[in-house]
């Protein structure tokens, strides 16, 4: 398994919130993550990343110098910051097969989070069915998230233009009742070429 990127600190059936292990590592918007819980891999798509103070009652303040310079002069500041990211649950692995729908249970708090490997990204995006789940979750930037995940899958596939064409067709079919949303996603993935 690849190097862990964080630890889950809050869960629900459809989402999880994780704290990053390293301030310098920010997961990419739209990247595929996994966690193991109760013997099952649960997959998520990163839709929100933020850096904040560890004390919820104390905001970071401006110092008027570049971040690298500030951390060099006052390295203790890094001890008061954290990076968190939220992921929408998009599937799970059951008996060796990846299922592109919600698992029977959410991941557990304190489970570790890892980036998906190339094979998992390819399997998760084979039919793009996870887009239907993402589209159904309230509060997500669906067009941006779908396009970002498809562009990442395109890169994992070695910039396979046939995948990008098929992805456009799948999006048109999956979101046939939401023409403007489908069109918006297709415009955003066409920039990947």
Per-residue tens of pLDDT for the chain, all 193 residues: 679 999 999 999 999 999 998 888 889 999 999 999 888 999 999 999 999 888 888 888 888 899 889 889 888 888 888 999 999 999 999 888 899 889 999 999 999 999 999 999 999 999 888 898 899 899 999 999 999 999 999 999 999 999 999 999 999 998 999 999 999 999 999 877 6
Range of the domain at 84: 6-191
Structure tokens at 23: 């301030």
* Structural domain includes residue 1: no
**pLDDT score for 1:** 60
pTM of the model: 0.90
* Structural domain includes residue 72: yes
User: What's the domain count of the chain?
Assistant: 1
CA atoms within 13 A on the CB side of 99: 12
């Amino acid at each position: 398994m690849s190097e862990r990127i964080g630890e889950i600190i809050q869960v629900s059936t459809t989402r999880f919130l994780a704290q990053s292990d390293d301030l310098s590592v920010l997961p990419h918007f739209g990247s595929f993550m996994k966690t193991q819980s109760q013997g099952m891999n649960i997959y998520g798509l990163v839709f929100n990343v933020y850096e904040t103070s560890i004390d919820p009652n104390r905001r970071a303040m401006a110092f008027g110098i570049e971040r690298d310079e500030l951390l060099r002069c006052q390295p203790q500041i890094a001890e008061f910051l954290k990076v968190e990211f939220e992921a929408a649950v998009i599937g799970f692995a059951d008996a060796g097969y990846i299922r592109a729908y919600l698992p029977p249970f959410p991941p557990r708090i304190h489970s570790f989070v890892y980036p998906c490997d190339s094979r998992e990204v390819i399997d998760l995006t084979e039919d793009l069915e996870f887009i239907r789940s993402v589209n159904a979750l309230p509060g997500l930037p669906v067009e941006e998230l779908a396009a970002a995940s498809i562009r990442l899958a395109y890169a994992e596939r070695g910039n396979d233009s046939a995948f990008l064409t098929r992805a456009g067709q799948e999006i048109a079919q999956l979101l046939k009742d939401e023409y403007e949303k489908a069109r918006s996603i297709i415009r955003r993935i066409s920039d990947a070429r």
